[in-house]
Amino acid sequence: MGVVITISRQIGSLGDAVAEELAKRLSVPLIDRSKMVAEAYRYGLTTQRQTPPEIAERKPTLLQRLDEERHRFSVLLRAILYDFAATQETTVIIGLTAQMLFKNVRHALRTLTVAPFLVRVERVMREQGLDRQAAITIVRQSDSDRAGYHQYLHHVEWLRPELYDLVINTEYMRANTVVEMLLRTAELPDFQPTHESRQVLDDLALGARVEAMLVTSPRVAIDALEVRAERGQVTVSGLVYTEEERETAEQIVREAPGVRAFVSDIRLKPLPAPFP
């Protein structure tokens, strides 16, 4: 388990090029939207045609927010990212609100690339062969989508600098220059894994893995589900309708990889009051 580098970016700020080149220089796969989609569908979670908003990096519609599958994708997003980071020597993640998911992992280098609005418009014009008005529309829509996406998942203003370890204005910089900065920063002692930071990530990965197994199981439905993991001990709380469901949920947790001890606070829902 090595350094985790997260790259958040405004459209037109060179963030995508930086992420691709950084992963190439480090000889690691880039964890991006397409890889997450492949992993999510490998779980057999959904048959819907469109990429879910949680992975597509946009705010869902009202109807989508009411869909139970939205919650499943949110859980699965965390489970996949934490598992990647906990098992790889070095991890590079672009987007996906990774700066929020890894905020308590001290060997995570959380970065943000930005640039002035008109600079980003010019870059989008060149990269996509668009006229100025079309590029302005795309940049504004992207800014709105990413703001809404972060509000939906984490209730934060995503451009706040305190959410990041490093904010880079790329107005006068090339992508390769930013890559060099990140490579050197990632080597600093401040971002090297420690026993404590590895344990934090292991706990996050285990908790998310167990939660994902529960929410994707067709055999059980748990309301108010909460999962906590600490050094292999997993505590699960929630509400189910039947004793059979509770036993099934507890069996799923006990059989989850990495669970050494299990504390169950899964309770039966109270029966509704009879009609007078």
Residues 6+ apart with CB under 8 A from 180: none
Give the predicted TM-score (pTM) of the model. Answer: 0.86
Please check the confidence at residue 48 and state whether its pLDDT lies above 60. no
| Segment 132-164, tens digit of pLDDT | 999 999 999 999 999 998 998 889 999 999 999
Which pLDDT score is estimated for 64?
44
What's the pLDDT score for residue 66? 42
- Given a cut of 90, whether residue 121 has pLDDT beyond it is yes
Mean confidence (pLDDT) of the chain: 89
Q: What is the pLDDT of residue 119?
A: 98
Q: Which one has a higher pLDDT value, 261 or 52? A: 261
Residue 49 has pLDDT above 50, yes or no: no
Question: What's the mean pLDDT in 53-79?
Answer: 63
Task: Please answer whether residues 169 and 217 qualify as being in contact, where contact means their C-beta atoms are separated by less than 8 angstroms.
Answer: no
Alpha carbons 117 and 252: distance in angstroms, whole number? 49
With a cut of 90, say whether residue 23 has pLDDT above it. yes
pLDDT higher than threshold 80 for residue 272: no
**For residue 61, what are the CA distances in angstroms to 52, 53, 67, 95, 174?**
11, 9, 10, 20, 36
d(CA 112, CA 27): 22
pLDDT, greater one: 120 or 153? 120
Q: Which residues, in sequence order, are CB contacts of 195 under 8 Å at separation 6+?
A: none
Model pLDDT, residue 152: 85
What is the model's pLDDT at position 163? 98
User: Does the pLDDT value for residue 63 go beyond 50?
Assistant: no
Output the pLDDT for position 273: 62
201 CB neighbour count, 10 Å cutoff: 22
pLDDT at 45: 57
Quote the pLDDT of residue 73. 79
